[in-house]
A and B are shown apart, each in its own frame.
Chain A
Amino acid sequence: MTLYLFKRFIQALFVLLAMSFVCYILIGLMPGDPIDIMLAANPEATAEDAARLRAIYGLDQPLVTRYGHWLAAAMTGDFGYSRLFSQPVFDLIWPRLLNTFVLMVSALLLALLVALPAGIYAAYKKDSLSDRLINGFCFAGISIPSFWLALLLISFFAVTLMWLPAGGFALDDASLWVHIKFMILPVLTLAMTSVAAYTRYLRASMIESFQGDFIRTARAKGCSERRVILRHALRPALAPVVTVLSLDFGTLFGGALIVETIFARPGMGKLIFDAILGNDYNLAILSLLVVTIMILIGNLLADLSYSIIDPRVKIAEGKE
């Protein structure tokens, strides 16, 4: 187990290193540089000023050298300042990470809360009218562009009915209900794709599970239908769903980025989007790395829970 975690840790470090290098180079290849933006704000600046500023910020050196400096500083825990926010990037990230985390976990829970019963029911009543309806809903869910769904929800619940805010974020001292009101549309948007995907996978693996001999045995020995479904059929069916879930964190974060941008919520997604477009190296790279770590941890947790759901799967000590 320890060895397994150690291996995963080394692998994760490797991914992060590669990721930081690629992102640093790519952001360096974006149009303009921070100095261009500074100069645009100051009409009196001359070409010499620009050159001097570039030298101060080290922007006159080749990209790879600059990455080396960044990496050396990062090793000591110094991730630099954000140019857009004029704050150390580390301080900027934590509150936003919490927001995004709450958003993603709420969406994930909502998705599971809907997908579990829907998937089980559809598989149990295979080919019935309700199964077809659920199936149709799933196809719609995986095919709808989430930004468009967000726009539709805004236009219906915020513009027409005026029940919910069209976006933004509740003040810290607002009541819990106000906080929830600001969360409803973003969470609904984010959960939609996941609901559809999980339901489909669960339905498929439940159908397979229902065909197993152990189900016939369970029924023959007189188990109640409820027990057959929840104890005998569900458990083996969950394993493939967990795999899907673990591969889904990246997609879920992509969804969070879209949702945060549209609903103007301060979170990691919006932060990354603004940082990339604003040429804010330090901020963009650290945010991307934090998000990658979050995804890697999610993958690891899903892998570990796999062996809880299916005890036959042992996390191997020696080899994988």
Chain B
Amino acid sequence: MIQKRLNKTARWMLFVLSALAVLSFAAPIFESILKVSATEVDIYGRFATPSLKHWLGTDELGRDVFVRLLYGGQISLIVGMVTALTAAVIGTVIGLVAGMGRGITDTILMRMTDGVIALPLLPLLIILAAVDLSKLGLSDQALSSEYISLIRIVLILALFGWTTVARLVRASTLSVLENTYITAAYALGVRRWRILLRHVLPNVTAPLIVATTLSIGNVILLESVLSFLGLGIQPPVPSWGNMLTNAQDLIWDNPALAVYPGLAIFITVIAFNMLGDALQDAFNPREYQN
């Protein structure tokens, strides 16, 4: 039923995103076929113009821009989806507890949510991204892993990303609990956690899916800003954000290098946003008819 209602734009966006995912994860294949490298520095081949070998030319260190874009795509897609899912889980738990608990639990959790929303997000993300993990007692071995900056960015973005979902789930929970079938279930002696799992949770999934889809775009934007500022994904691992770090200095001589990564972010984020919007229409027939 949902597929039927998904409009043409949404299908296009799904297609664009799938194509992006396939291309990104095929990066090693492109690397071996084109005989180029995303990380190997080639001082003599800097700023090469697009050719059959280097489809989008090379950057200031002679690395192939096209393949780097694909690897950056892996990072953006993974960070975006994993973070959005993690945040959704945190938000769902907090929202359910607040909605089911009511009273003082609800008040405390929602005041906390309001507090987090009111904070200046970006400066806090910058501080968290700059924290020295070895001072937190992480072993050198864990720190030298190339996934560490990936895991860190997912965690800090999820830490602040749960608020929308929490409010949404709480609101849905409260409205679901108003229904007579909940009263009936209580009267029949059904346990609270069972009511939660069988009646409340299925009823909040639709808004949850929409909110999560819409938040992926936001997460990708935040990741790219942090990487752009030099605090997110650390070079030499390419990400769309850190590919733009040097672009500002190069803009006078080589503006093309500043265009591709930004365009990639833009297309991905707009696709997720339009998909989320279309899902909202599909799940909400009343608004769809408007």
Contact = CB atoms under 8 A, between A and B. Distances in A.
Interface stretch (B30-38, B81-89, B115-123, B182-190): B115-123
A111 interface: no
A29 B251 contact: no
Given A155-B251, A250-B117, A291 B123 contact: yes
Contact of A147 (B124, B225, B270, B290): B225
B221 A276 contact: no
Interface stretch (B144-152, B169-177, B258-266): B258-266
A257 B122 contact: yes
Interface stretch (B21-29, B43-51, B95-103, B126-134): B126-134
A122 to B, nearest CB: 13
B266 A254 contact: no
A23 B221 contact: no
Nearest to B261: A148
Contacts of A140: 266, 270
A81 B290 CA distance: 59
A292 B127 contact: no
B229 A143 contact: no
Contacts of B115: 15, 18
B269 interface: yes
A250 B127 contact: no
Contact of B118 (A143, A145, A146, A250): A250
A288 B258 contact: no
Interface residues of A, number: 48
A318 interface: no
A277 B231 CA distance: 10
A277 B123 CA distance: 11
B210 interface: no
Nearest to B111: A11
Contact of A257 (B123, B130, B136, B248): B123
A118 interface: no
B247 interface: yes
A61 to B, nearest CB: 15
Contacts of A247: 117
Contacts of B123: 254, 257, 269, 272-273, 276, 288, 291
A107 interface: no
Given A140-B270, A147-B244, A296-B118, A29 B132 contact: yes
A237 to B, nearest CB: 14
Contact of A151 (B136, B221, B247, B273): B247
Contact of A148 (B229, B262, B273): B262
A277 B132 CA distance: 12
Contact of A159 (B224, B228, B255, B273): B255
Contacts of A53: none
A145 B128 contact: no
Contact of B121 (A11, A15, A251): A251
A261 B229 CA distance: 9
B131 A29 contact: yes
A250 B121 contact: yes
Contacts of B135: 29, 31
B274 interface: yes
Contacts of A288: 120, 123
Interface string A106-149: 00000000000000000000000000000000011011111110
- Give the dominant DSSP class at A's interface: helix
Interface in B196-243: 217, 221, 224-225, 228-229
Contacts of B193: none
Contacts of A258: 122, 225
Given A139-B273, A159-B252, A159-B255, A145 B224 contact: yes
A198 interface: no
A207 interface: yes
Contacts of B252: 159
A295 B120 contact: yes
Interface string A26-52: 110111100000000000000000000
A146 to B, nearest CB: 8
Given A15-B118, A142-B273, A147-B228, A31 B130 contact: yes
B83 to A, nearest CB: 16
B244 A143 contact: no
A5 interface: no
Nearest to A147: B228
Interface string B60-80: 000000000000000000000
Interface in B257-290: 258-259, 261-262, 265-266, 269-270, 273-274, 277, 290
A154 interface: yes
A55 interface: no
22 contacts: A26-B127, A29-B131, A29-B136, A30-B130, A30-B131, A31-B130, A143-B221, A143-B266, A143-B270, A151-B244, A155-B251, A159-B255, A254-B121, A254-B122, A269-B123, A272-B126, A276-B123, A276-B126, A276-B130, A277-B126, A295-B119, A295-B120
Given A143-B269, A145-B265, 14 more contacts: A15-B118, A15-B119, A23-B127, A30-B130, A30-B131, A143-B273, A147-B244, A151-B251, A151-B258, A155-B255, A159-B255, A254-B120, A262-B248, A291-B120
Interface of B: 111, 115, 117-124, 126-128, 130-132, 135-136, 217, 221, 224-225, 228-229, 244, 247-248, 251-252, 255, 258-259, 261-262, 265-266, 269-270, 273-274, 277, 290
